[in-house]
């Protein structure tokens, strides 16, 4: 196998591939990039850590076609230090790889392409397509509430529900819940033209990498294909694929309380600013210390924000539009800030009942085509 790359182009192509490199697997093949050089002057590069993977096809001058696995970290480091405009990768019959650039060359061992683990089908019969900006915006609102190591596997990811009306995303980590629903046109890619009706759970790590790959450009689209156990995202020249989490997602609508008796409308930015000042007290960095909570006291149209810890104390006041009795309630400050940041609205509506029941955070002015709701459990205040 012998390939000549433009060094800048190959460096840019390899960078996103690193998100699917495993450093903790005993299988050495998954620490590498599967390089498949074809006679049509294209080169397909794939990385796969047995949970998620990424594939990209680039143009190259292929002098000798072939397939081999090159250690990803060494390949990237070598490209970074080479100073020529073009890089030549050559792998001989004994799986000895050599990278040339200008008068420099670097040798390393390669592996046979046959040793690479089987990857899922990258195009299936079922799927849909939507703008990248729509999916990225919705993910930004729910990502913060995904669990990463919950004993219930279904919580360690983001729940997708797709139908003819639009898309709904839900995440929950036992303390926080985020729900984002958008009525929008989704292009049906089912080969049998059957109605859109999908529900699946994408793992937390996959969602994090997917968010980085998506663009804000409304003209760019993402095609999504599914099988029973896997999901595939076609993002421009990139193909990003992942396993799905098996199981039935929680009945989130039953968890969300709808009969609250105390309501407050507050300026979102002013509240976040006050909570960030309180974070100077609540986010203790001393070893062995316990993060203190922030107290919210709703008293006749005034929201009093206070916190006390070994670092000191803080106090703030904000005017609110209050409907209902006074209430003193406490939260994990960081959790509350993240929930408010996800609620993209100048004014937010806080719905509460007591100091021990969850709070609902919603935009004060709702859109007809969109429903955003963020739920947070309070913490028990110390006497």
- 7-16, 42-51, 276-285: the lowest-pLDDT one: 276-285
Higher pLDDT, 167 or 84: 167
Which residue range is the domain that position 236 belongs to?
Answer: 126-252
211: left (phi over 0), alpha (psi -120 to 50) or beta: alpha
| Same domain, yes or no: 242 and 261 | no
Identify whether 213 is part of a domain: yes
pTM exceeds 0.85: yes
Bigger pLDDT: 356 or 381? 356
Residues 132 and 248 in one domain: yes
Query: Does 77 lie in the same domain as 26?
Result: yes
Residues 109 and 209 in one domain: no
Distance from C-alpha of 117 to C-alpha of 113, rounded to nearest angstrom: 9
Query: Which of the 8 DSSP states describes residue 94?
Result: T
| Cβ 42 vs Cβ 9: under 8 Å | no
Choose the weakest-confidence range: 127-131, 225-229, 256-260, 290-294. Answer: 290-294
Average pLDDT over residues 260-272: 97
Residue 65 placed within a domain? yes
How confident is residue 228, by pLDDT bands cut at 50, 70 and 90?
confident
Are both 212 and 279 inside the same structural domain?
no
* Amino acid 162: pLDDT: 95
Q: 142 and 189: one domain?
A: yes
The answer to the question of residue 60 being in a domain is yes
| Percent of the chain surpassing pLDDT 90 | 75
> Is residue 288's pLDDT more than 60?
no
Q: Is residue 120 part of a domain?
A: no
**Mean pLDDT along residues 248-276:** 95
CATH code at position 111: 3.10.150.10
Are 17 and 65 found together in one domain?
Answer: yes
Domain boundary among 211, 232, 252: 252
Structural domain includes residue 382: no
Where are any strands of DSSP class E within 132-261? 157-163, 166-172, 176-183, 187-188, 197-203, 221-226, 230-235, 238-243
Could you report the per-residue pLDDT of 35-51, keeping only the tens digit for each? 999 999 999 999 999 99
φ/ψ bin of 28: left (φ > 0), alpha (ψ from -120 to 50), beta (otherwise): alpha
State the total domains in the chain.
Answer: 3
Does 52 score more than 70 pLDDT? yes
Q: Could you tell me if 92 and 201 lie in one domain?
A: no
Same domain, 71 and 175: no
Q: Please, which pLDDT band fits residue 201 given cuts at 50, 70 and 90?
A: very high
Tell me, what's the pLDDT at 284? 63
Are both 80 and 142 inside the same structural domain?
no
**Is pLDDT above 60 for 290?**
no
Residue entry with tokens 């930004």: 140
Inside any domain, residue 381? no
What pLDDT was estimated at residue 287? Answer: 47
Q: Indicate the length of the chain as a whole number.
A: 383
164 and 221 part of one domain: yes
Number of neighbours of residue 121 by Cβ within 10 angstroms = 11
Out of 210, 227, 252, pick the residue that ends a domain.
252
355 pLDDT band, cuts 50/70/90, is: very high
- Most confidently predicted of 128-137, 186-195, 278-287, 305-314: 128-137
Residue 7, domain member (yes or no): yes
For range 174-189, the mean pLDDT: 93
Query: What is the mean predicted confidence (pLDDT) over 67-90?
Result: 90
Instruction: Name residues whose C-beta falls within 8 Å of residue 177's C-beta, 6 or more positions apart in sequence.
Output: 145, 170, 171, 252, 255, 256, 373, 374, 375, 376
Rg (CA), the chain: 25
- If asked whether residues 136 and 233 sit together in one domain, one would say yes
The verdict on residue 121 lying in a domain is: no
Q: Among 95, 115, 135, give the residue marking a domain's end.
A: 115
**Bridge partners, 37 (sequence order):** 43, 66
């Amino acid at each position: 196998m012998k390939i000549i790359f433009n060094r800048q182009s190959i460096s840019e192509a390899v960078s996103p591939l690193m998100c699917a490199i495993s450093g903790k697997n005993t299988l050495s093949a998954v620490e590498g990039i599967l390089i498949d050089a074809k006679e049509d002057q294209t080169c397909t590069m794939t990385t796969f850590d047995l949970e998620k993977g990424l594939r990209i096809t680039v143009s190259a001058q292929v002098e000798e076609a072939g397939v081999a696995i090159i250690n990803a970290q060494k390949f990237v480091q070598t490209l970074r230090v080479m100073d020529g405009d073009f890089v030549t990768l050559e792998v001989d019959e004994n799986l000895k790889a050599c990278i040339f650039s200008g008068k420099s060359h670097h040798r390393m061992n390669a592996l046979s392409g046959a040793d690479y683990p089987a990857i899922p089908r990258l195009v299936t019969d079922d799927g849909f397509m939507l703008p990248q900006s729509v999916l990225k915006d919705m993910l930004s609102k729910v990502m913060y509430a995904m669990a990463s190591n919950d004993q219930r596997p279904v919580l360690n990811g983001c729940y997708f529900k797709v139908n003819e009306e639009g898309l709904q995303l839900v995440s929950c980590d036992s303390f926080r819940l985020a729900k984002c629903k958008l009525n929008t046109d989704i292009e049906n890619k089912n080969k049998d033209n059957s109605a859109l009706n999908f529900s699946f759970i994408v793992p937390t790590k996959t969602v994090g990498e997917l968010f980085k790959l998506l663009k804000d450009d409304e003209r760019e689209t993402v095609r999504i294909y599914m099988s029973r156990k896997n999901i595939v995202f076609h993002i421009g020249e990139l193909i990003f694929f992942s396993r799905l989490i098996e199981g039935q997602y929680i009945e989130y609508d039953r968890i969300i309380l709808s009969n609250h008796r105390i309501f407050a409308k507050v300026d979102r930015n002013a509240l976040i600013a006050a909570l960030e000042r309180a974070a100077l007290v609540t986010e203790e960095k001393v070893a062995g210390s316990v993060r203190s909570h922030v107290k919210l006291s709703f008293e006749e149209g005034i929201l009093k924000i206070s916190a006390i810890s070994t670092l000191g104390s803080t106090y703030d006041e904000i005017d609110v539009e209050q409907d209902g009795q006074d209430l003193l309630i406490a939260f994990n400050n960081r959790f509350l800030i993240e929930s408010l940041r996800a609620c993209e609205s100048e004014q937010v509506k806080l719905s509460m009942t007591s100091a021990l029941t969850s709070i609902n955070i919603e935009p004060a002015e709702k859109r007809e085509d969109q429903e955003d709701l963020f739920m947070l459990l309070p913490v028990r205040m110390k006497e």
